[in-house]
Amino acid sequence: MLNRLFMRGFALWLVLPWLAFAAPVFADTAANIGDMFVAIRNGDADTVAQLLRLGVDPNVQDEQGYTALMMAAREGAPGVARQLLAHGARVYQRNRYGETAVMLAAYSGHNAVIELLMLQGANLNANSRGWNPLIYAAFAGHADTVRLLLAYGMPVDGQTDGGLSALMLASQKGCIECVRLLLRMGANPGLRNRQGQTALDMAQGAGNSDAGALLEQAARVRK
């Protein structure tokens, strides 16, 4: 009986110090995740690094499936992204809308993050609806990002399931620099979307006469 009590006491003596050390870390997991999201929004790479050392999952997601890396890409925080990647963040993860971190970086025009993600093996594939990073960048009017993605080999005439191309959306949004760049890289102004519209139709419908003039000139040259 005494031996059993002694062994139980000895086992407890071994376990208690570990529990005392570990309990605060695990008890604060939910709070730490919240702190992680705040730190990402603030671009606070040091706090993110500290939380990762405490054991916060680098692939933690919010209720919409946005991972910590996606948030860093969207916010344009390369320092944060670098910390997450160093701790095993997955570059190919998708949220519930089929978006990857590189798509979100493209939409927000954060080239430094795009280059970091590409070095870590990010791919430029479209999501399930055919939207790709180039189309995101053109839609948002980020000409420098369009240029970067084309340099990485993105197909200039990729189309969404609805038939939208980067050129169509840049024309509709009136991003003249994007339109000029896409045309110079061989974008086809004759492509049509599901409604039968060309980039010129979309430019004219949105009242973007400067884009329309570029497209009319490009169409004449291609004939």
**How confident is the model over 167-183, as pLDDT tens digits?**
999 999 999 999 999 99
Task: Tell me, yes or no, if the two domains 25-123 and 130-223 fold the same way.
Answer: yes
Encode pLDDT of 184-202 as tens digits.
Answer: 999 999 999 999 999 999 9
Question: pTM value?
Answer: 0.85
d(CA 221, CA 223): 6
| Residue 71 identity (one-letter amino acid) | M
What is the tens place of the pLDDT at every residue in 114-159?
A: 999 999 999 999 998 999 999 999 999 999 999 999 999 999 999 9
Is 156 in contact with 187 (CB distance < 8 Å)?
yes
Q: Whole-number mean pLDDT of the chain? A: 89
Nearest Cα residue to 128 out of 153, 94, 84, 156: 94
Q: Give the pLDDT of residue 223.
A: 67
Give mean pLDDT, residues 52-61: 94
Dmax of the chain from CA atoms? 99
For 183-192, the CB contacts below 8 A with 24+ separation are 183/214, 183/215, 183/218, 185/150, 185/156, 186/156, 186/157, 187/156, 187/157, 188/157, 188/222, 189/215, 189/218, 189/219, 189/222, 190/219, 190/222, 191/157, 191/159, 191/163, 191/165, 191/167, 192/163
What pLDDT is attached to residue 122? 94
CATH fold of the domain at 130-223: 1.25.40
Asked if the model's pLDDT at residue 8 lies above 60, the reply is no
Per-residue model confidence (pLDDT) at position 172: 97
Least confident of 5-19, 122-136, 203-217: 5-19
| Domain segments of the chain as ranges | 25-123, 130-223
Architecture of domain 25-123: Alpha Horseshoe (1.25)
